[in-house]
Structure 1
Amino acid sequence: MTRRTFISLRRRILSGGLAGVLALAAGSALLTPSSAKDGAVAVDVELVLAVDVSYSMDPDEQRIQRDGYAQALTSPQFLNALKSGAHGKIAVIYLQWASSLDQDVLLPWTVIDGPQTAQAVADKLAEAPYRRAQRTSISGAIDFAMKQFADNGFNGDRQVIDVSGDGTNNNGRPVTAARDEAVQQGITINGLPLLIRPSSYGYFNDIANLDEYYEDCVIGGVGAFSIPIKDRSNFIEATRTKLVLEVAAAPPPGIFDGKIAIVPAQAREPRVSCLVGENMWRNRWGN
């Protein structure tokens, strides 16, 4: 299957339920794996891990977020899923984001093809310093992530942006504009909204139904899904489940069992305004 056909497939399929995620994962085995072009390394997935470092993310949340990715990438479940791909390897980049003008790459594009490379990535994440910054621009994160796919030296069968954060977009262009542009380019955006702090905590982009906001305004593309985290104890399990789904050729038995809720993208009108964060900021600050 050519990349143009695959992009067309992405545009046509909007999962209406869990069956859509399962169908994509099961059907991925039918896609002809990409061969290297112009010296690029062929991988199953080019995966951008885009994590929120805005001030609403307190130090404990940041630590849990990064530890969750590090432990998930070295878990037996993830490593087994890695083996199921046509190439048995992925390329991953880890970036941090806050405002529309504030993104940085913590881990540049790196191949994970087994336990040693996965552990090396986990070690680099553990060693990196933490930081916090102003505003929350999910759209800026998506725009920045899209640019990372260009001339990155990899030729992936799929391109995925994995967005995690605890608030709504309140800076930069509308999040739906960035999402739709990414989807048009054949990119899938998955979400990991954090609802582990009361929405009345004090930040101006906190909403109680952040899970619905992510489902209706942030995620998109064929097989896109969101896994809301409402308890700190579920972060590692949820992160691992999401990474397994993103790299597996077919979902392992029992992956949908347990307490983790996996919500696919829906083709429907948003239940919450996709400009809610911008409106909250404007009402508070007047700009």
Structure 2
Amino acid sequence: MRLQWAVISSFCALGGITFAQQYPLAVDLELVIAVDVSYSMDVEEQQVQRQGYVAAFRSPEIVNALRGGALGKVAVTYIEWGGSAVQVVPWSLIDSPESAARFADALQRQPVRRISFTSISNALAFARALFRSNGFRASRRIIDVSGDGPNNAGAPVPVARNAAVAEGIVIDGLPIVLKGPPGSVSFAEIDVYYEKCVIGGEGAFILPVTDITQFPQAIRKKLLIEISGLKLTEGRGQQMRLVQYKPYNCLVGEELQEQSIGK
């Protein structure tokens, strides 16, 4: 049997296919956490958000949620994005308190970075690519994207959203409705922007954050819903909101960027 597996592995390698691609590990969920680190996010907001994810993966609630799945395991990776995107923590199998803690520790050790511009579309495209050869297989794939500003670089965000949804990927949003430049309408309505232009797929939802102190609870709540695969109902205020496709100017970020350049 050992020789048989060695022959199979060699065949896959010679054919340009890795063993992980040929025989991916089955998990309940493949999750990309995509976090905005553009310059519209101040350092305090970035640190609080980062610590919110670290604390979430150290919490018993998250471990209990993943154990409640049919297989009791999920695959998670963490990326940060602005105009471009960076994979901060590689794909990790989380199936126990120990593996969840290792993921949290790996994230804790990473420096806080900042990236110019805001390209949600590039972040979604980057995340899509990460699913293709991650060595895992799940019936559910989710991109969990957070941010406080509209797309202002790269392709229009609905193009990237629709491409991901066409592949069966669900995009959930954590819009950060804190503060923006005086008179900035786009920042004030970033929750509406995320709802109309960013999220998509079956059961997609947003969970707005309107105060910096809400980050830890919102992050944990959102991860619990995604890992558990719960179905949501329409809510109010800080409750989850399901995607509703209605006419909206999804190029508002690009237009504001052009206006700022023209001044």
Q: TM-score range by the shorter chain?
A: 0.7 to 0.9
Q: Is 1:205–1:280's contact at 8 Å kept on the other side of the alignment?
A: no
Amino acid at match of 1:73: F
Distance (Å, rounded) in 2 between the aligned partners of 1:205 and 1:103:
26
Shift of 1:267: 3.0
Q: Is 1:81–1:249's contact at 8 Å kept on the other side of the alignment?
A: no
Shift of 1:163: 0.3
Q: Using structure 2 for the length normalisation, give the TM-score.
A: 0.87
Q: Which residue, 221, 225, 247 being the options, matches 1:241?
A: 221
Q: Is 2:151–2:157's contact at 8 Å kept on the other side of the alignment?
A: yes
C-alpha RMSD of matched pairs (Å): 2.4
Matched, 1:134 2:116: yes
Matched, 1:41 2:17: no
Give the fraction of aligned pairs with identical amino acids, expressed as a percent: 45
Any idea what the Cα deviations from partners look like across 1:158-205, whole Å, max 9, x if unmatched? 110010111110000000000011001100000001112x22259x89
Query: Kindly tell me: are residues 127 and 201 of structure 1, through their superposed partners in 2, closer, same or farther at Cα, counting changes over 3 Å?
Result: farther
Q: Which residue, 188, 207, 230 being the options, matches 2:170?
A: 188
The aligned counterpart of 2:63 is 79
Distance (Å, rounded) in 2 between the aligned partners of 1:249 and 1:188:
11
Q: Which residue, 216, 219, 227 being the options, matches 2:196?
A: 216
Distance (Å, rounded) in 2 between the aligned partners of 1:155 and 1:208:
38
Distance (Å, rounded) in 1 between the aligned partners of 2:98 and 2:238:
28
Any idea what the Cα deviations from partners look like across 1:71-100, whole Å, max 9, x if unmatched? 11222222221111111110001011111x
The aligned counterpart of 2:153 is 171
Amino acid at match of 1:118: A
The structure showing larger relative contact order (alpha-carbon pairs under 8 Å, at least 6 residues apart) is 1
Shift of 1:64: 1.0
Which blocks of at least 5 consecutive residues in structure 1 are unaligned?
1-35
Distance (Å, rounded) in 1 between the aligned partners of 2:193 and 2:82:
18
Query: Kindly tell me: are residues 259 and 214 of structure 1, through their superposed partners in 2, closer, same or farther at Cα, counting changes over 3 Å?
Result: closer
SS of the equivalent of 1:180 reads helix
Amino acid at match of 1:261: Q
The aligned counterpart of 1:228 is 208
Distance (Å, rounded) in 2 between the aligned partners of 1:249 and 1:61:
28
Shift of 1:114: 1.5
The aligned counterpart of 1:33 is none
Q: Which residue, 256, 265, 269 being the options, matches 2:243?
A: 265
Q: Which one has the largest radius of gyration?
A: 2
Q: Is 1:192–1:227's contact at 8 Å kept on the other side of the alignment?
A: yes
Which blocks of at least 5 consecutive residues in structure 2 are unaligned?
1-19
Task: Say which structure is richer in helix.
Answer: 2
Query: Kindly tell me: are residues 162 and 200 of structure 1, through their superposed partners in 2, closer, same or farther at Cα, counting changes over 3 Å?
Result: same
Structure 1: 4+ residue segments shifted above 4 A: 249-252, 255-259
Query: Kindly tell me: are residues 43 and 201 of structure 1, through their superposed partners in 2, closer, same or farther at Cα, counting changes over 3 Å?
Result: farther
Q: Using structure 1 for the length normalisation, give the TM-score.
A: 0.80
Aligned residues: 244
SS of the equivalent of 1:207 reads helix
1:118-129 paired onto structure 2 within 5 Å? 118-129=100-111
Shift of 1:38: 2.9
Q: Is 2:35–2:146's contact at 8 Å kept on the other side of the alignment?
A: yes
Amino acid at match of 1:242: K
The aligned counterpart of 2:11 is none
1:88-99 paired onto structure 2 within 5 Å? 88-99=72-83
The aligned counterpart of 1:276 is 252
SS of the equivalent of 1:109 reads strand
Shift of 1:67: 0.8
Shift of 1:206: 4.8
